[in-house]
Amino acid sequence: MFIAGFPAGPWGTNCYVVATAPGSECVVIDPGKDATAGVADIVREHRLKPVSVLLTHGHVDHMWCVTPVAGTYDATAWIHPRDRHLLTDPVAGLSPETGQMLLGGNYTWAEPDDVRELTDNQVLELAGLQFTVDHTPGHTEGSVVFRSPYDEQDVAELMFSGDLLFQGSIGRTDLPGGDHAAMLRSLADKVLPLADNIVVLPGHGEQTSIGRERATNPYLLELQDEGSAGRVTRGL
């Protein structure tokens, strides 16, 4: 598998380009602000053809360039239906003050020509790759993660986690559409059951693993403590 990633734009959003090998079709994940040139450089250098753009959620720092990237390569954009409205109204995912501060001007937004909607547990076959979709609301209502088989260097899967899970932290839940209780349920139901040898490629910051986060991430540690306490209580 070929993977190239780079932090794009002022928010350092990780954009990933994934393919079976150089010279093949590829998938672009989360093309944020200023990602178009970075994607073009990778595509040109490695002779790739983007066929799909996957969005972990609809926040503007992750989808700013989805329409130009999808349009340039005639690629299909994929997003969960609960976040689809953010493609044309990204400010709806921000507070008014934050939206004005972050965007710094007036912009118009349009959906890509070909948009398809994601569902929980869906398995996508794209560019010779397989991606399992997990719906993980909390950061936004339509947040998802994508898991892809890897099976190299004792790694079972790659998980493109968006803003669900970071190295040592989790995504914020104080913006419109955020829900901290839903975030904790997503972490408990969709992250904690996963194998330790899954590499996590987050929306911001450095890569990590499920095993590392299970052992060190304070939010996951708290969930595990609560789960243990619950099991003890039920046993009394």
Across 124-146, average pLDDT: 98
Q: What pLDDT sits at residue 236?
A: 37
The predicted model gives 125-136 an average pLDDT of 98
Helix, strand or coil for residue 87? helix
Complete domains list, the chain, with CATH:
2-235 (3.60.15.10)
Q: Determine what percent of the chain is predicted with pLDDT higher than 70.
A: 91
Q: In this predicted model, which residue has the larger pLDDT, 231 or 160?
A: 160
The answer on pLDDT for 89 being more than 90 is no
pLDDT over 70 (residue 96): no
Q: DSSP class of residue 90?
A: G
Residue 232's pLDDT band, with cuts at 50, 70 and 90, is very low
Task: Please give the pLDDT value at position 229.
Answer: 59
Chain-wide mean pLDDT for the chain? 91
Q: Are 136 and 164 in contact (CB under 8 A)?
A: yes
146: confidence class by pLDDT, cuts 50, 70, 90: very high
pLDDT value of residue 97 = 58
Q: What is the per-residue pLDDT for 47?
A: 98
The rounded radius of gyration (Å) of the Cα atoms in the chain is 18
Q: How confident is the model over 6-25, as a mean pLDDT?
A: 96
For the stretch 71-80, pLDDT in tens is 999 999 999 9
CA 118 to CA 142: how far, in whole Å?
A: 9
What number of other Cβ atoms are within 10 A of residue 109's Cβ?
Answer: 15
Tokens of 10: 């002022």
4-11 LR contacts (CB < 8 Å, sep 24+): 4/42, 4/46, 5/201, 6/35, 6/38, 6/42, 7/204, 8/32, 8/33, 8/34, 8/35, 8/38, 8/65, 9/33, 9/34, 9/35, 9/61, 9/64, 10/34, 11/61, 11/102, 11/204
Report pLDDT for 109: 82
When mean pLDDT is compared across 21-30, 82-91, 126-135, 203-212, the lowest value belongs to 82-91
- pLDDT surpasses 50 at 81: yes
Choice between 10 and 139, residue whose per-residue pLDDT is larger: 139
